[in-house]
Each structure stands twice: as C-alpha cells, then as structure tokens.
Amino acid sequence: MGSTTTTTEDKSKAAAFRIGLGDITPNNLGQLKRLNTVLFPVVYTSSFYKEVLEVGEFAKIIYFNDICVGGVCCRKENVPGSTSLQNLYIATLGVLAPYRRLGLGSKLLKHILENAKLPSSSGPKIAKVYLHVQTNNEEAVEFYKKYGFEVVEKCENYYPQFDVKDAFKLEKVLIEKN
C-alpha cells in the first residue's frame, strides 16, 4: 500500500494522518465486500467482485491511518462501433461516514480520472467516465460536478428496489468521439 502524509485542520488543532491507496487482491477482497455492504444498499454479486480483481488501477481501497475506510470499483465497457475507445463506469465510490470530508473520496476519484487519462499502450483509450447517483443525493451530485462531471440524463425507475427510484446519470467526457 502506498502511503502519503496529509495535514488537515481539526477544529482545535492540526492533525497529521496517513492516507494510502491499496490494490484490490484476493487477500483483501473480503474487506471491500464488507465496506460495500455498509456503504451501499445494493448487494453485489460474486461476478462483480471477480471483475473488480481484473480492472487494475480502476479498483482501489483507501486507508486512513492503516484502517480500510473506503473504496472505488469501476468497469470498462466497449464503445459501440469503436475498437480504440472504451468507457469507464464507476460502479461504487464510497467512504465510511466518520471519515468523510477528509479528502478521501476526492483522492479515490482523482486516482480514477488520472488513470483514465493515461495513454494505453495495450488497448483502447477511455473516452468518458460515468456513473449513476440517486436523484435525492445532492451531496454526491455536487461532489462529482466539482470534478467536471455533468448531469446528462435522469433515469426513471433506475433503482426499482429503493424508495427513491430515480437516478441521475453523470459523465465526464475525456475524448470526443468523431
């Protein structure tokens, strides 16, 4: 796990803490599963977690002082009619409530966006990054807008199993298609 030291202002004093991103491996996949169970009202399948193990830099766990407190999981999708472009779907990005507003979600999202922009020597380039957010989750919508995502669609009944069924589709275009 790579680690960086970050300083933040606590209400009364400055506190130093360590933040590190870790790869998802078979050895820590259970941690990710437990996190997702707490963070999201969706039960993810074993095939979801199998795919997570295969996306490399597009799935990470974040540690705060060596405690696993969040993660991000993405999947690559082929762009119809193109062999040189893919889209990247952020399936999950979350941080446990006591650790929010410390820059951890931003660190996860920045990592994904930076890696999505890197040139790929062995495969398609990432054309856009997108995700869905429940329409009542204004905090999440504003978070993603801060990083250049735009609401491009309202998807009615996207979450049929939830009280708030509608979602916004947000996306950030990295490469314009011709």
Tell me whether residue 111 is one of the annotated catalytic residues. Answer: no
Does residue 11 register a pLDDT over 70? no
Average pLDDT over residues 153-165: 93
- What pLDDT score was predicted for residue 13? 34
Catalytic residue chosen out of the listed positions 89, 111, 147, 159 = 89
CB atoms within 10 A of CB 89: 17
Mean pLDDT of the chain: 89
Contacts of 49 (CB under 8 A, 6+ apart): 29, 32, 33
The half-sphere exposure of 121 on its side-chain side, counting CA atoms within 13 A, is 0
Tell me whether residue 132 is one of the annotated catalytic residues. Answer: yes
Say which residue, 117 or 15, is predicted with more confidence.
Answer: 117
Domains, in order of start, for the chain: 4-173 (3.40.630.30)
Catalytic residue chosen out of the listed positions 44, 111, 132, 159 = 132
pTM score of the predicted model: 0.88
- What pLDDT score was predicted for residue 87? 96
| Dihedrals phi, psi of 17, to nearest 5 degrees | -145, 160
